Structure 1
Amino acid sequence: MIEITLKDGSKKEIYESITVLDFAKSISEGLARNATCAEVDGEIVDLRHVIDKNCTVNILTFNDNDGKKAFWHTSSHILAQAVKRLFPSVKLAIGPSIENGFYYDFDIETPFSQDDLKNIEEEIKKICKEGLEIEKFVLSRDEAIKLMEERGETYKVELINDIPYGCEISFYKQGEFEDLCAGPHLFNTKNIKAIKLLSATGAYWRGNENNKMLTRVYGISFPKASMLNEYLEMLEEAKKRDHNKIGRELEFFTTNEFIGQGLPLLMPKGAKLMQILQRFVEDEEEKRGYVLTRTPTFAKSDLYRISGHWDHYRDGMFILGDEEKDSEVFALRPMTCPFQFMIYKATQKSYRDLPIRYGETAILSRNEASGEMHGLIRVRQFTLSDGHIICTPEQLEDEFKNSLDLVKYIMECIGINEDVTYRFSKWDKNNKEKYIGEEELWEQTQSNMKQILDKLEVNYVEADGEAAFYGPKLDIQFKNVHGKEDTIITIQIDFSLAERFDMVYIDSDGKKKHPMIIHRSSIGCYERTIAMLIEKYTGALPVWLSPVQVRVLPISDKFNNYGEKVTNELKKLGIRAECDYRYEKIGYKIRQGQLEKIPYLLIVGEKEESNLEVSVRDRKDGDKGSMNLDLFISLITEKIQNKK
């Protein structure tokens, strides 16, 4: 007798071993038709998996995240099979499922053209219609290597050699196509009802720019054609909101090939928006007890050796100099913490001096891979609202809470507080070489942080392996219009760097002790925040954030003097206003202002000048008619001050 516990807690008994698929059929034929894989005792398994002991089972479909992954992983194999049919000499690399769909990397002499992608897509549809059974088989290490060597699949041989000894080496076969893969996969190619290849781009083998550039083909698939149509419509909408498109059209930023990839140029509007945000953040931090620092943008390697960045983060840094040739080697800073720690160490501290809250608007540099960069979201030089709180262990909880309060207040003001999720990023105890510090300290710090998060009622998910190398962190996540998730703000607890830097304070008992450190950002990377705001508001930023809040439009040049008077009156009150003096028809000026998404257009002519009025055009509500200038000033000032 085998007892199986289902997701809802109910139990089902069977009398002999059974595959997951047959077990799904015993529950419902409909469930079996829609099943893509299963979760057995917490492990994601193939539908071919045999249940032969008491366990918990959750049958997964396309509606489940892991169910989607199995569906899309199968789709990547079908893509590879189609490419092999049309381009037999191509070499296969990897083809995983990703957050939205799948990709496969190919080593081919000439990258695929759009016509090639159309032909590949047609071949994929044929393979799906052929209804090929998908079978799993296992080989020994020597057999697997021999099979791949005979087929010239050098990338697969490399992958096999990387599989730890003792682990199963499995393949999946569909028709004439066989591929190295751990699975899970669907049972038949006919289950893929709708598929679309989205793009082809370059990607280095294993993400290392020292390796060969491969051709990566991205795709998406669904069990229903209607779902694909909905997704493609969503993609079109996403393109309209993409900050890379809107930000350039509205002249927030640009890029230039002579300057380099990942090094955007903020144009006047973008620079003004950053200034607005920076002043807001720095003023708010000052109210909450932060003190400013200004530190160098690069330093000797000696500093990074103390912090651990040289050993754990060097690949992400820009190195200045050659260790073998130069007596001193420098590096552009990837973060501010070691610099602020040296400021702390410059004078002796007592427990009465703590907490100390350092804040800095810091220009940082990170050597991002070329394939990872995107607009303002992922760049090689960026501006961070960086800060470090140095406190006693007893102050840690309150300081963490205060840091989160600040973050939540700023997110509420810029309007993204309901668009984010929280991730508790922990270390990977099976990969300890990535981190510094003892296991006991890691576990203790993570336990303390979990208690703090639970006490603050933070709704978070846990993620192993996402911690910083020196401590766990709370990551605040945001998805761009394409569904890609990025971290925008972090709050980290650091239990190790104070000791490495010999940072101490004199406690009430007269003894020297190492403080605790919170690494935190209040608004994150300004460039990434600007990208996020452009996408959220489709360029129509809230009034208080708009680089230009008001544009005055004289009906003709006869009223330019009155237009100038109105503009100057607004500027004196700190309202960002400008006047359009161009010799153009008023209808053209209005359309231009609307395209630039300026919150308020004030039209002035003879009637307005006579009555000291302005004719107001609201970006959202349209024509609001004439009103006294003082009344308009009162209206817009309230919105700016209340950050509405």
Structure 2
Amino acid sequence: MKLLLIHSKNASMEKKGKATSKPQEYKKKTLELEGKVLVCFVSVEDQDTFDINIISNQAADEIKNSIELIETFPEKIEEQNKEITKFNKGLKAAQERGFRKNENPRAKKKLLLDPAQYKVDKILVYPWAHLSNFLSQEKTAQDVCPTISKLLKKEGYDAYYSPFGWYKAFNLNCLGHEVAEMYRDVPLALLSTEVRAKSVFKIVNPDKSIVDFCTSDEESKKNAKIPKKYSKDFKDFITSEVLSSREAGKQEPAHIKLMQKFEYADFDDATDAGNFRWYTKGVLIKNLIRDYVENKMVEMGAIYVDTPIMYTVKNKKLTAQTARFPAKTYWLHSGNNRYLLRFACDFLLFNMFSQMHIREEHLPIPVYEYETYAFRREQAGELAGLRRLRTFTMPDTHTLCRDIPQSVEEFKKQFLVSNQILNDLGLKSFMVIRTTEKFWEEHKDWILEIITSEGEPSLIELWPERYYYFILKYERPVLSAQGKTACLCTNQIDVESAQDFITQYGEKRMKYNINWHSKDNKTGHPVILHNSPSGAVERIIWGLLETSARYEKEKVTGIKTWLSPIQCRVMAISQKESDYAEEILYQLNKKNIRCDYDDRDEKIGKKIRTAETEWVPYTIIVGNKEVENKTVSVRKRLIGQPLVDGKTNDQINDISLKKLISLIEKDLKGLPRRALPIPFQRLSTRISFR
């Protein structure tokens, strides 16, 4: 919905003639309103008529907020002038003592009109098609303005409406003060009108003992104390997940300088904030992660699909889900229609499920989609480099299960797969389980087994009742250098989306109506697991860089060999060994091991230091001895291992190339390979983006 609000001295309206075949019934020919009138021009858009009561309530709230803004404006100016007077008094005192001599006093603000003019006596709600190109074509659109007027009257406002479907003349006299003209965009928001149910946080220890920590109430959080026995990492995790804000901090995240230094990714000032440009090495890492996760999903029994990245807002099944996140959406206009860019693959995937013939004997069915693009219009204060961005890549699996027992068994399997993925990526994470009190009591035994299986304390959040589509949600957050968490892999048990409808605010809301069919003609709605087995690809890279920065004084920094853009670097002590170095370069890349050659005219010490700062896992050094013996000397980086006395590498001298390849192959066993582009195989030809 679009709103244009004009604060007017008096207002009048006169019906002139029918504009539609069935105009809204309205007995009066004219309407004369005296006094200070807030005229609210309303355009009802395509998505709004999903539920006119909800959008009308939202519009009424916006109008009330606008009235408050108008009527309190003189008071706010007065408060600001008091602050200015206080500032000027302090400035004068400082200048008399010889300080701040170059600073000027601030001028007080003046109202454009007399304070008595900043009042609203009456409200006129007026249908106005010209604020949008995407108007609702449903008959119920004409009921929105009367409904808004009725809601405002119930709260004591003197409110009126102008009829829909008539040619009308009107007169306004805009008062012309600072807030006399306002525009509001009101997206349909299917959010609960009730405050989210108070949740309870508990800490589960490896021995299955449970510590009551706090509730979601702010006073409870303020008084919460994390037991001293826990590690600093776990305390930082609890602080970030439960006790602190999720907004980005003022300090620049550590990974930003690293992603720029290594030329993985960077900001782009020619696009929307939160959208990144990716360089060769960053794309290489992203592709390796894609290959790896996809292979794991195939091993798990998943099938592939690929759904469109945009969808219409005229489909009520999709609107019912989309409108729960109105602030997150990007709109796309095409001709006379508009679309939403998806912020998850669920929408058109579930639409596809609803059109499938799903056989009971085939369940569970894991369906994997590599979301090349997902879009979430995060608020500016929430953006934080690769941790929270507006366009991202998400490996996503949705599993159709016959019922809750089958979904639980599949959940356990996927839990193990996700843990293996995080381990192979080299990421330390924590565990959070969020569920309802009822589900917790019924399934406590197996949930505790999962939580305690790793021998680490974990966090549970319990809700008195389900407030969203899932009854249980599992998350694996990772800690940044600054102690901020971000979730990577997740899994949710969804008991709502497959239904034909749900009851919300006393109304039936259309869902996807997904069904399975048995051989004996029984049918049922599947339970759906929402499993991102690794988390967003960009956030994985965030985690790898932030983890290295967090533990740089405790552990050897770096990325596991299989994922490192440069796995080996060969360097010759002098030009005499260059032919041999070239041969090693050729042989390793022939084996699909990403190797480059530092062929710069630099001393060997500088070449080694460069490889060290670039976190190269294997540095291969060849001199006269190695040429004679047809061997190599290798510095193997101890990535992720404890940093003892500053030692970052193991030195392996005078081994055969075959043995070196065997060492590297152990690091790469069962993991995907991608070739290193030819320009990156020599430092002299390597492309620089910065």
Q: TM-score range with shorter-chain normalisation?
A: 0.5 to 0.7
1:567 match: 585
Once the two structures are superposed, residues 369-391 of structure 1 have per-residue CA deviations (whole angstroms, 9 ceiling, x without a partner) of 01111110000000111110001
Name the aligned partner's letter for residue 556 of structure 1: S
1:67 match: none
Give the distance between the partners of 2:653 and 2:222, measured in 1 at CA. Answer: 63
* Match 1:520 to one of 500, 512, 531: 531
Once the two structures are superposed, residues 420-440 of structure 1 have per-residue CA deviations (whole angstroms, 9 ceiling, x without a partner) of 1323155xxxxxxxxxxxxxx
Once the two structures are superposed, residues 3-52 of structure 1 have per-residue CA deviations (whole angstroms, 9 ceiling, x without a partner) of xxxxxxxxxxxxxxxxxxxxxxxxxxxxxxxxxxxxxxxxxxxxxxxxxx
* Match 1:454 to one of 430, 448, 457: 448
Q: How far apart are residue 512 of structure 1 and its match?
A: 2.1
2:177 match: none
Matched, 1:336 2:345: yes
Q: Report the RMSD for the aligned CA atoms in angstroms.
A: 3.4
Matched, 1:375 2:372: no
2:368 match: 359
1:281 match: 293
1:400 match: 411
Give the distance between the partners of 1:444 and 1:506, measured in 2 at CA. Answer: 29
CA contact (8 A) 1:304 1:310 kept: no
Name the CA shift for 1:218/1:415 in 2 (closer, same or farther; >3 Å). closer
Matched, 1:391 2:407: no
Residue 382 of structure 1 aligns to a residue in which SS? Answer: strand
2:58 match: none
Give the distance between the partners of 1:467 and 1:524, measured in 2 at CA. Answer: 24
Q: How far apart are residue 622 of structure 1 and its match?
A: 4.9
2:543 match: 532
2:656 match: 628
Name the CA shift for 1:384/1:611 in 2 (closer, same or farther; >3 Å). same
| Fraction of identical pairs, as percent | 27
Q: How far apart are residue 580 of structure 1 and its match?
A: 1.9
2:30 match: none
Give the distance between the partners of 1:266 and 1:489, measured in 2 at CA. Answer: 23
CA contact (8 A) 2:426 2:559 kept: no
Give the distance between the partners of 1:614 and 1:456, measured in 2 at CA. Answer: 46
Give the distance between the partners of 1:521 and 1:218, measured in 2 at CA. Answer: 26
CA contact (8 A) 1:357 1:387 kept: yes
Name the CA shift for 1:467/1:359 in 2 (closer, same or farther; >3 Å). farther
1:492 match: 492
Name the CA shift for 1:625/1:182 in 2 (closer, same or farther; >3 Å). closer
Give the distance between the partners of 2:514 and 2:270, measured in 1 at CA. Answer: 43
2:146 match: none
Name the aligned partner's letter for residue 491 of structure 2: I
Residue 590 of structure 1 aligns to a residue in which SS? Answer: helix
Question: What is the aligned residue count?
Answer: 404
Matched, 1:547 2:565: yes
Residue 337 of structure 2 aligns to a residue in which SS? Answer: coil
Q: Is there any run of 5+ residues in structure 2 with no aligned partner, and where?
A: 1-80, 86-99, 101-193, 195-217, 224-244, 453-457, 500-510, 550-556, 638-647, 672-690
1:22 match: none
Once the two structures are superposed, residues 390-444 of structure 1 have per-residue CA deviations (whole angstroms, 9 ceiling, x without a partner) of 0101411111111111111112222335x31323155xxxxxxxxxxxxxxxx76
Give the distance between the partners of 2:621 and 2:578, measured in 1 at CA. Answer: 11
Once the two structures are superposed, residues 516-552 of structure 1 have per-residue CA deviations (whole angstroms, 9 ceiling, x without a partner) of 1111110011111111111223451122221111011
TM-score, structure 1 length as denominator? 0.57
Once the two structures are superposed, residues 451-507 of structure 1 have per-residue CA deviations (whole angstroms, 9 ceiling, x without a partner) of 652353454411549988322312222221111222222211111111221211112
Matched, 1:597 2:608: no
* Match 2:271 to one of 253, 259, 262: 259
1:348 match: 357
Q: Is there any run of 5+ residues in structure 1 with no aligned partner, and where?
A: 1-86, 92-118, 120-163, 165-180, 187-206, 208-215, 220-234, 427-442
Q: Radius of gyration: which is bigger?
A: 2
Give the distance between the partners of 1:184 and 1:392, measured in 2 at CA. Answer: 39
Q: How far apart are residue 630 of structure 1 and its match?
A: 1.1
Residue 308 of structure 1 aligns to a residue in which SS? Answer: helix
Once the two structures are superposed, residues 146-204 of structure 1 have per-residue CA deviations (whole angstroms, 9 ceiling, x without a partner) of xxxxxxxxxxxxxxxxxx9xxxxxxxxxxxxxxxx989999xxxxxxxxxxxxxxxxxx
Name the CA shift for 1:279/1:618 in 2 (closer, same or farther; >3 Å). same
Q: How far apart are residue 336 of structure 1 and its match?
A: 0.8
1:478 match: 478
Q: Quick check: which one's helix share is greater?
A: 1
Name the aligned partner's letter for residue 495 of structure 2: F
Name the CA shift for 1:354/1:365 in 2 (closer, same or farther; >3 Å). same
Residue 360 of structure 1 aligns to a residue in which SS? Answer: strand
Give the distance between the partners of 2:263 and 2:612, measured in 1 at CA. Answer: 14
Q: How far apart are residue 266 of structure 1 and its match?
A: 2.2
* Match 2:668 to one of 632, 640, 644: 640
CA contact (8 A) 2:566 2:596 kept: yes
Name the CA shift for 1:183/1:415 in 2 (closer, same or farther; >3 Å). closer
Residue 498 of structure 2 aligns to a residue in which SS? Answer: helix
